[in-house]
Structure 1
Amino acid sequence: METTIARVFRSLEETEQAREALLQAGVDADAVDIAFQADEAGPVRGNFLAGDSVTSLSTEEEYDRRFRHQGEVSRYILTARVDEARAQDVEAALQRAGGRTIDAATPTPPGPGQQG
């Protein structure tokens, strides 16, 4: 049975190196895809309502505390369709190449009352 493994990379160079490692390990080139994910308007830095609150101090520190977790939204996603029997080896190769899971690549925003 076939499974799909996805990992996130910060640069095209890292992504290409990971792709090459999979090809060298015998993964079929047609089974490996690279996608670029970005917001054409640039990284999210909050919203236009920041500072409009009656209780807001509108300070740089407050803005940073509220929106620092947004970060850069551009990333490269490599997916590989492989036989389940090879999944562990492929996952290990992608980890060695610097690939991160979607959950690990996406910071969790701080909850109410927590600082980021």
Structure 2
Amino acid sequence: MAIQMIRIFDQYADAEAARDALLAAGYARDAVRVSVRDDEAGPVQGNFTVDNGTEAARGTAARNDERVTQRGLCMVVLDAAEGREAAAAAELLERFGGRDIDKLAPPANHQDIV
């Protein structure tokens, strides 16, 4: 039975290198995918539109606008067999900096504190 492994990478180059290493290790090309999701990280829209007309507030809005950065989430998704094949793939992905998505998620019984 096949399982799906998902690993998160901070850098696209690391995700690509892990993919290349999996292919070199014999995993099928259609079983290994790299996915990138971009996210704009910056102040919320209200920081740009509400300046109350003061010079100081307009300066703050301009500084906030300069700090907007682009952040990406790079994932390698692998369809692998269970057992030794999956263990070998997990070790290889970790070597390139891949983090297990299941270990990053909060437990199922996790409740947010309001």
Residue in 1 that maps onto 2:7: 7
Deviation at 1:104, TM superposition (A): 5.6
The aligned amino acid for 2:36 is: F
Match of 2:78 in 1: 80
Per residue, is there more strand in 1 or in 2? 2
2:21 alignment counterpart: 21
Percent of aligned pairs with the same residue?
29
* Contact kept? 1:8, 1:105, Cα under 8 Å: no
Determine whether 1:89 maps to 2:88: yes
| TM-score of the aligned structures, taking structure 2 as reference length | 0.62
Please give the alpha-carbon distance, in whole angstroms, between the structure 2 residues aligned to 1:87 and 1:27. Answer: 11
Q: Distance in 2 between matches of 1:89 and 1:18?
A: 12
Bigger Rg, structure 1 or 2: 2
Amino acid of the structure 1 residue aligned with 2:18: A
From the two aligned structures, give the one with the greater helix fraction. Answer: 2
1:75–1:84 Cα change, 3 Å:
same
Instruction: Check 1:2–1:13 CA distance in 2 against 1; reply closer, same or farther (3 A cut).
Output: same
Any gaps of 5 or more consecutive residues in structure 2?
48-69, 106-111
Equivalent runs, 1:55-70 vs 2, <5 Å: none
**d(CA) in 2 for partners of 1:45 and 1:7?**
28
More moved, 2-11 vs 94-103: 94-103
CA contact (8 A) 1:43 1:74 kept: no
1:42-62 deviation line (CA, Å, top 9, x unaligned): 11546749xxxxxxxxxxxxx
Residue pair 1:9, 1:75 contacting (<8 A) in 2 also = yes
SS in 2 for 1:26: coil
Unaligned runs of 5+ in 1: 50-71
In the alignment, which residue of structure 2 is the partner of 1:69?
A: none
TM-score (norm: length of structure 1): 0.61
